[in-house]
Amino acid sequence: MMCNWVGFYVPCSGINPLKSNPSIHSREGHMQTQLIVNLFGPMGTAHLADLLALIQQQQCHALDSHMLAFEQRMVLALRISGNWDRVTRAESVLREFAQRAGLDMHIHHEQKIAEREAVLPYVVDAIGLASADIAAVITRFFAQQKVGMRELSTRTYRPARSSERLIQMRAQIDIPARCHLGQFKSDFFDLCDNLNLDAARSRRMSESIKGSAVPSFTGTTTEGDQINETTYSGKWLVLYFYPRDNTPGCTTEAQDFQRLLPSFDEVNAVIVGVSNDDQASHARFCAKQGLTFPLIADTEQTVSRAFDVIREKKMYGKTFEGIERSTFLISPDGHVHAVWRKVKVPGHAEAVLATIREAGQS
């Protein structure tokens, strides 16, 4: 059996646990309600398209969706978010839809989002000869390591020109940020070795975070405000990391974002800068350059490591750790829409703005 370890993102070792705000705010500033919907019955692709259109018409967001077909029947799980009145209307519309389509439906309300521990999301893929206990053994290992599981899917099949049945498993897991990542990986591959599994250790791709939920983070701005991954829910968030205040490239980049700030406002986007400078340095930088968007003082590098932008650098014969200039575009529903690493400053702010506009037209 072969196991592939594929990371959404891999923070550097030594990441500190981050605190996250348990509430999710809409652009109006009210706490949003979440609706967990499970549907089962004779559904097809057309039904799914109609269902998602109904949710959008009620001005709600389908944060997560999972679909699985069994012969002529389909199982669908949705997590919907929106203001209380919009979610209430959506629930009524969904019940009518389910009744017309002859579907079984169960709905659960979540008005208070439980506080989450900072986690590192990963995907584990495994494939090999079909065995009834493969999923059980691996999930038991995750449970013993206190690793959360967001998604688990298994599929058995017989390849062409083969009499052996194979099983394919994919698990999306959340590794606690307090966990020693290197040790966890080592223990996982030891498990594979003990089970006579051929574990292939794949390397992280630089943009593997793209498309995944934004990593949990908390940062303090120049004004002392706390910003986390839910602060700007309902808006585009341009989170850009830069090496140091008042250096030529960083100054130009900040000036470019400031110059285009009215255009970003027009597309419902906010700008937040992050560096490892302290609040006093940020205050001087903002005053000198006339910056009106917030800067996070990431002196402990917790936010920087959560987004995997800390790199080893060399200057004047000395080696040190610092930020690699990077930008992350977070969608209004809290997913990483685009990633720019090793950013070249000229034209970068314009490119980010163009990406948001293009997304709005699609």
Number of structural domains, the chain? 3
Of the pLDDT bands very low, low, confident and very high (cuts 50, 70, 90), residue 241 is: very high
- Give the CA dihedral 167, 172, 175, 181, nearest 10 degrees: 60
Backbone dihedral angles phi then psi of residue 200, each to the nearest 5 degrees: -95, 120
- Under DSSP, is residue 205 helix (H, G, I), strand (E, B) or coil? coil
Task: Tell me, yes or no, whether 234 and 124 share the same domain.
Answer: no
Of the pLDDT bands very low, low, confident and very high (cuts 50, 70, 90), residue 204 is: very low
Least confident among 5-14, 200-209, 330-339 = 5-14
CATH code where residue 99 lies: 3.30.70.260
Q: What is the pLDDT of residues 74-102, one digit of tens each?
A: 888 888 888 888 888 989 999 999 898 88
Task: Tell me, yes or no, whether 104 and 151 share the same domain.
Answer: no
Task: Tell me, yes or no, whether 156 and 125 share the same domain.
Answer: yes
Higher pLDDT, 11 or 308: 308
Please report the pLDDT score of residue 178 as a whole number. 75
Q: How crowded is residue 53: how many other Cβ atoms within 10 Å of its Cβ?
A: 9
Task: Identify whether the C-beta of residue 138 lies closer than 8 Å to the C-beta of residue 171.
Answer: yes
Task: Tell me, yes or no, whether 71 and 139 share the same domain.
Answer: no
Of the pLDDT bands very low, low, confident and very high (cuts 50, 70, 90), residue 197 is: low
> Is 135's pLDDT higher than 50?
yes
As a whole number, mean pLDDT of residues 292-307 equals 90
> Is 259's pLDDT higher than 60?
yes
Please report the pLDDT score of residue 252 as a whole number. 94
Point out the domain boundary residue: 172, 200, 228: 200
Would you say residue 26 lies in a domain? no
Separation CA 362–CA 283 (nearest Å): 38
For the full predicted model, state whether its pTM sits above 0.75.
no
Task: Tell me, yes or no, whether 305 and 319 share the same domain.
Answer: yes
> Is 150's pLDDT higher than 90?
no
Please report the pLDDT score of residue 1 as a whole number. 46
Would you say residue 209 lies in a domain? no
Task: Tell me, yes or no, whether 238 and 343 share the same domain.
Answer: yes
Please report the pLDDT score of residue 159 as a whole number. 67
Q: What amino acid positions are annotated as catalytic residues?
A: 250
Give the range of the structural domain holding residue 299, as residue numbers without chain letter.
218-361
Task: Tell me, yes or no, whether 62 and 158 share the same domain.
Answer: no
Please report the pLDDT score of residue 48 as a whole number. 80
Point out the domain boundary residue: 110, 139, 172: 110
Higher pLDDT, 199 or 113: 113
- Under DSSP, is residue 93 helix (H, G, I), strand (E, B) or coil? helix
Please report the pLDDT score of residue 30 as a whole number. 45
The encoded tokens of residue 357 equal: 């506009």
- Give the CA dihedral 124, 7, 214, 184, nearest 10 degrees: 80
Please report the pLDDT score of residue 286 as a whole number. 95
Of the pLDDT bands very low, low, confident and very high (cuts 50, 70, 90), residue 18 is: very low
Of the pLDDT bands very low, low, confident and very high (cuts 50, 70, 90), residue 362 is: low
> Is 301's pLDDT higher than 80?
yes
Least confident among 153-167, 274-288, 299-313 = 153-167
- Under DSSP, is residue 126 helix (H, G, I), strand (E, B) or coil? strand
Task: Tell me, yes or no, whether 190 and 302 share the same domain.
Answer: no
Please report the pLDDT score of residue 139 as a whole number. 86
Q: State the DSSP string of 183-229.
A: HHHHHHHHHHHHTT-EEE-PPPPTTTTTTSBPPP-EEEBTTS-EEET
Please report the pLDDT score of residue 4 as a whole number. 44
As a whole number, mean pLDDT of residues 213-242 equals 89
Would you say residue 212 lies in a domain? no
> Is 103's pLDDT higher than 80?
yes
As a whole number, mean pLDDT of residues 273-277 equals 94
Report the percent of the chain where pLDDT is more than 90. Answer: 27
Of the pLDDT bands very low, low, confident and very high (cuts 50, 70, 90), residue 26 is: very low
